[in-house]
């Protein structure tokens, strides 16, 4: 079994899975839970991509 993912795909998958897990572990009604999952996912991606761009000057 072999899985080849790009950096973005790996980050996206990770963010989705962790956000869903955090959402379900919190004690919230269904709609709030969904909003929390989406908010958490957005933050993961924003911070992940943001840190990538911050590190960009140092990679060259």
Partner 1 sequence: MKPAIGNGPMVEEAQAATDVIDSKRQKLALGIGLAGWIVPGLGHALQKMWGRAVACCLTVAALVFIGAGMRGNLFTSEGGDAFATLGYLADLGAGSFYFVAKALETNGPDVSRADGDYGTRFLAAAGVLNLLAALHAYEAARGRKA
Shortest reach from residue 40's CB to partner 1, in Å:
13
- Give the up-direction half-sphere exposure of residue 24: CA atoms within 13 A in the CB hemisphere: 5
Residues in the chain: 60
**Chain positions contacting partner 1, by CB under 8 A:** 1-5, 7, 10, 13-14, 17-18, 20-21, 23-25, 27
Q: Which bin fits 10, alpha (ψ -120 to 50), beta or left (φ > 0)?
A: alpha
Q: Which is nearer to partner 1, 26 or 46 (CB)?
A: 26
Shortest reach from residue 54's CB to partner 1, in Å:
19
């Amino acid at each position: 079994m072999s899985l080849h993912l790009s950096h973005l795909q790996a980050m996206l998958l990770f963010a989705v899975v962790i956000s869903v897990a955090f959402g379900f572990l919190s004690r919230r009604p269904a709609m709030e839970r969904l909003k929390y999952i989406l908010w958490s996912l957005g933050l993961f991606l924003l911070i992940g991509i943001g840190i990538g761009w911050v590190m960009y000057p140092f990679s060259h």
